[in-house]
Amino acid sequence: MRRIMTLRAYLSGKASALGCSDTPFLDASILLAEALRMPRAKLLASLSEEMKSSWMVDVALRFEPWWERRLEGESVAAILERKEFYGREFRINPKVLVPRPDTETLVAAALECGDSLESQKSAPLRIHDVCTGSGAVAITLAAERPQWIVSASDISIEALEVARENSCAILGHSLDFRVADLLQGFESFGDLGQGFDIVTANPPYLSRAETDGLLGEGWKEPRLALDGGEDGMDVVRALIGQAPERLNPGGFLLIETDSLQSFLTRDILMREGFDCIRAWRDLSGLDRITGGRMPWRRG
């Protein structure tokens, strides 16, 4: 007698072998729905149905290779080369960091600070995102506040190609993306040489040892986007040191770091003359974004 294999049984069997995820059934269902070119809602509504013979080609050619990559630790987003962020879908590839839900806190902090500044400014706010990667933060801010002038930069030309593609797909045009090492060299960028009201950053903030460990385990993201030096703070220190020359009076610098680095980041901001220093908590209740304001009057 032929044994019937339902969708639920098939997915459950696959999920049981995945030890690198807290959501193995979800991961399997997302990849299978994509492999079958089927809306995931339809797949979930069909869990009690028998696996169809017409699906087997797509399962063999698409799902099974993807699942092998997932078993090796590659994320679903990296496999499908796309990731949802703040309700929008962004294309990604191995040249950029996969946008994380916790980074949405950086967007929320920028919106909060920008909204508070708008009432004190007659001209449109100027926002700049450094280490932009896929462009997720900059593009989201431009979409949420179309009246703001948003630009972004990254040291990686390959990352900026992804960011431009995402900007055109989501906004219908490309933001002003520049190749730059943090905030250096902006005096030669014309309009971008003017001051910014908000600078946002999700810089590399893992330690060298942490980065080596992740890449050694097969992590599929670029070292450039992960490695923050021996203690993970090299890029953060450099950015805070450069920001006072690029921020308008009353402007904010907002930086994502590990929660354990937040206090050190606050100390550095204080030494560089920032005031109104505070942290914003992520979805887990941990300090994720640390920011400060340039005094309205310097000196």
Q: pTM to 2 decimals?
A: 0.90
Helix (H) or strand (E) holding 170: helix 157-171
Q: Which of 56-60, 191-195, 266-270 tops mean pLDDT?
A: 266-270
Q: Is 88 part of any domain?
A: no
Mean predicted confidence (pLDDT) in 279-287: 95
Whether 49 shows a pLDDT value over 60: the answer reads: yes
Q: What is the CATH number of the domain that holds 42?
A: 1.10.8.10
Residues 174 and 266 in one domain: yes
On whether residue 163 sits in a domain, the answer given is yes
Is residue 87 included in any domain, yes or no?
no
Question: Going by C-beta distance under 8 Å and a sequence separation of 6 or more, which residues neighbour residue 103?
Answer: 85, 136, 137, 202, 256
The answer to whether residues 109 and 166 belong to one domain is yes
Q: Provide the mean pLDDT of the chain.
A: 93
Boundaries of domain holding 61 = 7-80
Task: Please say if the pLDDT value at position 1 is more than 50.
Answer: no
What is the widest separation between alpha-carbon atoms in the chain? Answer: 86
Are residues 76 and 130 both part of a single domain?
Answer: no
Query: Could you report the per-residue pLDDT of 205-255, keeping only the tens digit for each?
Result: 999 999 999 888 777 889 999 999 999 999 999 999 999 999 999 999 999
Whole-number pLDDT of residue 146:
98
User: Greater confidence, 297 or 139?
Assistant: 139
Return the pLDDT at 186. 80
Interior angle at CA 288, CA 201 and CA 104, nearest 5: 65
In this structure, the answer to whether residues 147 and 289 fall within a common structural domain is: yes
CATH number at residue 288: 3.40.50.150
- Say yes or no: 121 and 226 in one domain: yes
Tens digit of each residue's pLDDT (9 = 90 or more) over 133-151: 999 999 999 999 999 999 9
pLDDT at 157: 97
Q: Is 100 found in the same domain as 76? A: no
Number of domains making up the chain: 2
- pLDDT tens digits, residue range 57-115? 888 899 999 999 999 888 899 999 999 999 999 999 999 999 999 999 999 999 999 99
Asked whether residue 153 falls in the same domain as residue 208, the answer is yes
Indicate whether 279 and 148 sit together in one domain. Answer: yes
> Strands 287-293 and 275-281, how do they pair?
antiparallel
Which amino acid makes up residue 247?
A: L
147 with 66, same domain? no
Does a structural domain hold residue 190?
A: yes
* Band (299; pLDDT cuts 50, 70, 90): low
